[in-house]
Amino acid sequence: MDTTLDKAYTPKDTENEIYSFWEKNGYFSPNDKKEAHPFSVILPPPNANADLHVGHAMYVIEDIMIRYHRMLGDNTLWLPGADHAGFETQFVYEKHLAKIGKSRFDFDRETLYKDIWNFVHENRGTMENQLRKLGFSLDWSRNIFTLDPAIITTVHASFKQLFDEGLIYRDNRLVNYCTKDGTGFSDLEVLYVDRKDPLYYMKYGPFTIATSRPETKFRDTALAVNPKDKRYKEYIGKTLEIMGLLGPISMTVIPDPEVDPSFGTGIMKVTPAHDPHDFELGKKFNLPVTPIIDFKGRMDFSWFLSQKNIEPKYRERAEKYHGKKIAIVRPLMVEDLQSDGLLIKVDEAYAHRIGTCWKCGTVIEPLPLEQWYVKVAPLAKKALEAIDKKKVAFVPKRFEKTAKQWLSNFHDWNISRQNVWGIRIPAWKCVGCLSKQFSNSTIQQSSSWIITDGTPPTECPVCLGKNLVQDTDTFDTWFSSGQWSFATLRASGKDDYKNFYPTSVMETGYDILPWWVCRMLMLGIHMTGKVPFKTVYLHGLVRDSKGQKMSKSKGNVVNPLKMIDQFGADALRFALVFGTAAGNDLSLSEDKIRGMRNFANKLWNIGRLLLLSLENAKNSGRVIPFYSESLHATRLNDTDKRLISEINMLTSSVTKDMEKYRYSDAAKKLYDFSWHRLADQYIEENKVRFSEGDPEALSVFRHVFLTILKLLHPFMPFITEALWQKIPRLTTNPLIISSWPNQKSTV
RNA sequence: GCGCGCAUAGCUCAGUGGUAGAGCGCUUCGUUGACAUCGAAGAGGUCUAAGGUUCAAGUCCUUAUGCGCGCACCA
């Protein structure tokens, strides 16, 4: 064994070597000892085709938990995976297509899917190697992809079961639709932004109405007023002839207690096809759902133009508007409203919030579309009960309330996506039956669907027809992700589900609490009868040195790989934990990482001094005994004994912190003790003894330092392992699988 | 409107009712072998405000102010 060390620690030389040493020897896999307690964590699967960002580095908390429990001797599993990230990945792929002058519509479904598959798999290894660079002790032999057949099987089976139980249904209602990306979204994926837009006041029969969406007025089907509003009471129930841009329309005035009399003029126009509130109102009053905007975000006047005997003026207008985007039509309408004397005024800076596509920023259009919905309330109820019965604990505790709030307020969940890249929904329709039912041209009525476990059905159970068409939609990625905790363990082989479900801890960013954690709770409990995890630990967002959110456009993004390259993975890891409270956002600066690199170097040089001293002692024929209780009792002086007592106190205090998820505290104590107590005090005061080869001093120094290496290992796995392997000690185990210290332990 | 969080050193933030902390920055001094990615010494705080609980409050409770986040409404 080479016992000399370089003057400064160079992580680059050692990290890769140590990682492959660990991986090759299977240390990341569970020890499978029968008497061992199970401890399991499932890594939130990063997007398979994207590079890691510094937020992913926060999963270091999971590695700390895992390494700690592995050293405790627990049967420890940290399961890695990669996410196909349905819509998100397809979005990236479409950008890539655009660069080469193509679009997804140039390909048939199968080709497109295969092309995205290849695109993803070209990039997939990158993300995984980046996780390795971070030192994450993931069991790669169990690596799972969200599109692995075993996962798809589980997702299909759950869908069928939920459908059979009546917890999934098909409905035609207004969907949050992005006309640019061509897909609908769940409520959670709509990003609301504050904007200032014109509010148009226009003449509406005897009234004045205010609207920010004049383009929808062509398909208004009613007027609504607050029943308590005295100004309009007499109109309720009456049908009025109203002059519009395309001639007169007759409309009934209906009561709606939700109309705010103080907003605008207190009269609301009702457009069931393009406003969720109006849609519900329309259901109540039996109003027709008549769209004017199509799925590309264009005005569709075909319903009007197909009529006979239209006045030329109106035909001309409709033709002018037809097929154009909303933004183009609005000013045209304003002109026409003015020339018809219908425009009263325009409030140019009306402040409101508007739903946009979280990915591309396009304004979300509520459009009527048939989709699959999960009936959330019964599932949420079970999750709420589990929380109340303390079957799930939250760290920090305050997120329990947040989770409960979400679970109490979820609407039914639209899980259909008009994407190709994803798990296709195992639902088929019979063309024969369909043609018989198909009467209403604007709204497609629900008909009976054939749901299977994924196997294509051979014939229609109703008419025995063989012409069956599969739903072209795929699942919302979160529908499958919501089953990740049990789907993975069922897929990863052997007895993993039996041994490791429910998992010990679910650790992720608080920003996906509603998207992921709540859904895993709901689906996990419903599908398995058990909570999917016993503890939820949530970490905050990584921000820049000034506390600003990182973004590419601001140019303040910290690249974790660059930082690892520059300062080492241990330094980055320690910087992310040091001085960071669970659930709070944290500021990360290069300065902080550099500071932690300096700490790593400090450790390195403590090790270097120890090794040099041991080597000198050996060369002069001294035998350095290993620390033991009898050595302690018979030979140590007070100075040495005091240090031993302090390292024992540190050990129990750090252990307590580890148990209570107080990683920042543990890290600080270790930093402080190593640097300021051991190096600055003990070593400085006893330097002469070391150089003289004092056996007791060196024995104590070695014992204390090895103990520190153990305690620090979960945080800084590379340098601690590297030093550990250089230092003569009793056990032969590498540090990663050596035992967590207690007050009696020898090293 | 509802909910959550934050307010502590110049900056960024920890802080588990018991003598105010860290990282970075700053000042002064110090390089013959552990480390200048260092060492020694130091400056810098009415812990946002007001009230309350307590032997004891940065910490618990109430209220206020400012900032941030989420949700709902938004014709």
Q: Provide the CA A738 to C1' B38 distance, Å, integer.
A: 32
Q: Provide the CA A372 to C1' B20 distance, Å, integer.
A: 58
Q: Which residue's CA lies closest to nucleotide B15 at its C1' atom?
A: A665
Phi first, then psi, for residue A257 (nearest 5°) are -60, -15
Return the pLDDT at A612. 95
Among A185, A1, A5, A6, which residue's Cα sits nearest to residue A87?
A: A185
Q: Provide the CA A68 to C1' B35 distance, Å, integer.
A: 29
Nucleotide with the nearest C1' to A653 CA: B16
Q: Is the pLDDT of residue A586 over 80?
A: yes
Q: Provide the CA A585 to C1' B59 distance, Å, integer.
A: 20
DSSP 3-state percent helix, strand, coil across chain A (nearest 5): 45, 20, 35
Q: Which residue's CA lies closest to nucleotide B72 at its C1' atom?
A: A409
Q: Is the pLDDT of residue A443 over 70?
A: no
Banded model confidence at residue A368, pLDDT cuts 50, 70, 90:
very high
Q: Provide the CA A669 to C1' B14 distance, Å, integer.
A: 12
Return the pLDDT at A445. 42
**Please, what is the end-to-end C-alpha distance for chain A in angstroms?**
18
Return the pLDDT at A335. 93
- Give the pair of three-digit tokens for residue A226: 């607050």
Average pLDDT of the residues in A564-571: 97
Q: Provide the CA A569 to C1' B12 distance, Å, integer.
A: 21
Average pLDDT, chain A: 93
Return the pLDDT at A644. 95
Nucleotide with the nearest C1' to A595 CA: B23
Nucleotide with the nearest C1' to A591 CA: B24
Predicted confidence (pLDDT) per residue in A154-201, tens digit: 999 999 999 999 999 999 999 999 999 999 999 999 999 988 899 999
CA dihedral sign, ordered A59, A78, A81, A426: negative
Banded model confidence at residue A431, pLDDT cuts 50, 70, 90:
confident
Return the pLDDT at A97. 96
Return the pLDDT at A5. 84
Q: Which residue's CA lies closest to nucleotide B37 at its C1' atom?
A: A598
Cβ neighbors of A74 (< 8 A, separation 6 or more) are A36, A37, A38, A39
Predicted confidence (pLDDT) per residue in A95-148, tens digit: 999 999 999 999 999 999 999 999 999 988 999 999 999 999 999 999 999 999
Q: Provide the CA A566 to C1' B12 distance, Å, integer.
A: 21
Banded model confidence at residue A747, pLDDT cuts 50, 70, 90:
low
Average pLDDT of the residues in A603-623: 94
Predicted confidence (pLDDT) per residue in A715-744, tens digit: 999 999 999 999 999 989 999 999 999 866
Return the pLDDT at A255. 93
Bases along strand B below 7 A from a protein CB: 3-6, 11-16, 21-25, 34-40, 71-75
Phi first, then psi, for residue A432 (nearest 5°) are -60, -50
Phi first, then psi, for residue A382 (nearest 5°) are -65, -40
Nucleotide with the nearest C1' to A277 CA: B75
Average pLDDT of the residues in A592-599: 96
Return the pLDDT at A437. 54
Q: Is the pLDDT of residue A439 over 50?
A: no
Q: Provide the CA A596 to C1' B12 distance, Å, integer.
A: 15
